[in-house]
């Protein structure tokens, strides 16, 4: 079984570029997180809820810079004072998560400025209980949301 798993992992990662992804948990004063729903015609994870984020681009100096840019591009918010939340590695991806409760602007879903594609169709401010009830409809980690709330409220 171990050999099968090792071969599968090698096949999944072989000849594939390592990609870094930066995402941000944006919390409001009621400890709700901003989540966005992938468009129903999205090529990956259609109709699933997630936090704003995306690939780190060559022009991003840091992962934090990428998270700030992605929040602006995906939901129109200017975020600041981001705190490192966690890093997760799987296959050929490394996801860098940040959290903040500092943002300016109004949430707006717009087309991707590079592709012109509408990647998301909806947004909402979700409580921890909302995230738990979404189950398979969401890519938002309950563990990370709990950790984000603790960090922002100074309990961690």
Residues 55-106 pLDDT 10s: 999 999 999 999 999 999 999 999 999 999 999 998 899 999 999 999 999 9
Residue 99: which of 25, 36, 155 has the closest Cα?
25
Q: Which comes out higher in pLDDT, residue 106 or 112? A: 106
Q: How confident is the model at residue 139 (pLDDT cuts 50, 70, 90)?
A: confident
Residues linked to residue 89 through DSSP beta bridges, in sequence order: 94
Residue 107: which of 41, 28, 47, 12 has the closest Cα?
28
pTM of structure: 0.86
For range 134-143, the mean pLDDT: 88
E strand or H helix at 133: helix 128-134
Strands 19-26 and 93-100, bridge-based pairing:
parallel
């Amino acid at each position: 079984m171990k050999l099968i798993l090792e071969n599968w992992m090698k096949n999944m990662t072989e000849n594939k570029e390592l990609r870094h992804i930066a995402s941000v948990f944006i919390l409001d004063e009621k400890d709700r997180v901003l989540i966005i729903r992938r468009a129903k015609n999205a090529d990956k994870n259609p109709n699933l809820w997630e936090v704003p984020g995306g690939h780190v681009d060559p022009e991003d100096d840091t992962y934090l810079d990428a998270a700030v840019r992605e929040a602006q591009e995906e939901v129109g918010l200017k975020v600041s004072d981001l705190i490192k939340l966690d890093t997760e590695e799987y296959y050929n991806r490394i996801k860098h998560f940040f959290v903040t409760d500092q943002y300016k602007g109004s949430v707006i879903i717009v087309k991707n400025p590079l592709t012109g594609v509408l990647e998301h169709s909806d947004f909402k401010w979700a409580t921890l209980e909302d995230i738990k009830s979404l189950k398979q409809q969401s890519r938002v980690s309950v563990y990370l949301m709990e950790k984000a709330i603790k960090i922002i409220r100074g309990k961690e």
